[in-house]
Amino acid sequence: MNQSYGKRDKYGGYQLQIEGQLLIARVSGVIGSGLSKSYLNNLLQLAQQLQGKPWVYIADCTGYQASIPDAASNLQKAYEECLKLGCVGDAYCIDSPVGINQLAQIRRESKISTDIQKRIFADLDKAKAAMLKFLQDAVF
């Protein structure tokens, strides 16, 4: 049985769970340094369950506003560790211009070269469908 994790404070929150080869994050509000530390730890616990086969990270950030600067280093570490644990792709449902900019910067610093705009989808179902097709079509 796959675990799920979540945490909330007065500014924002997250939920994480595994669906097959997809690690799904639902993020809302503003992510501060305390939440980002918990997020990093919980994300890595789930990512370790997927290690050994290709998997994709999908973040539903429709209620997400931004991360404070102190949280960015934890979020970048999450990206880098997930890549080491077999993450082969990412997708987002996000409409916050500040959030998109922050994600793009973290991805660049993590040496992810694909354009963030090609990874943004209108809703979670579209993101899941696109990433499942990506996993099916890709050769690893």
Q: What is the mean pLDDT of residues 77-92?
A: 94
- 80 falls in which pLDDT band (50, 70, 90)? very high
Q: Are 41 and 16 in contact (CB under 8 A)?
A: no
- 2 falls in which pLDDT band (50, 70, 90)? low
Element holding 71 (H helix, E strand): helix 69-84
Q: What is the mean pLDDT of residues 81-95?
A: 95
Across the chain, where does the E strand assignment appear?
Answer: 4-8, 12-19, 22-31, 55-67, 87-94
Q: What is the mean pLDDT of residues 107-134?
A: 94
- 68 falls in which pLDDT band (50, 70, 90)? confident
Options 3.30.750.24, 3.40.50.620, 1.25.10.10, 3.10.580.10; CATH of 4-137? 3.30.750.24
Q: Given a cut of 70, is residue 16 above it in pLDDT?
A: yes
Q: Are 102 and 73 in contact (CB under 8 A)?
A: no
Per domain, the residue ranges of the chain are 4-137
